[in-house]
Amino acid sequence: MGKTILIVDDSESIREVVNFTLANAGFEVLVAVDGSNALNYLDGRTIDLVLTDLHMPEMDGIQLIKKIRENETYSKIPILFLTTESQLNKKNEAKEAGATGWIIKPFVPAKLLAAISKVIRA
């Protein structure tokens, strides 16, 4: 039984490359284009990890993280956020909102998988 990862990003190309990488690594992947889309997935199914961009229209990453944590079922799951280097100062805010860790864009697939393995195992 593979682990399930939910990815949330408003950039199609990022969604695709992350989906591709994770699927090849043996994960089940759920894809959301923004915050509300992501929240729709929190319907009781098993989600082992959430990967979200920080800066998105409508609901940004921080808000989404807060909302996920508010949900009883998903309050403890690891959440990693994607951000660029210059935005790393958001780290604390994100962590305060409940994020587990982060990945800096641009990243090579190996880096993505390494960061994920810090918080879940396939």
Q: How far is the CB of 46 from another protein (least distance, A)?
A: 15
Window 3 to 32, contacts with another protein (CB under 8 A): 10-14, 16-17, 20
What is residue 105's three-state secondary structure?
strand
Establish if 106 lies at the interface with another protein (CB under 8 A). yes
What is residue 108's three-state secondary structure?
coil
Amino acid, res. 22: L
Establish if 89 lies at the interface with another protein (CB under 8 A). yes
3-state SS, 7-64, equals EECCCHHHHHHHHHHHHHCCCEEEEECCHHHHHHCCCCCCCCEEEEECCCCCCCHHHH
Establish if 77 lies at the interface with another protein (CB under 8 A). yes
Q: How far is the CB of 31 from another protein (least distance, A)?
A: 14
Residues found near another protein in the complex (CB under 8 A): 10-14, 16-17, 20, 53, 55-57, 75-79, 82-89, 92, 95, 98-102, 105-107, 117-121
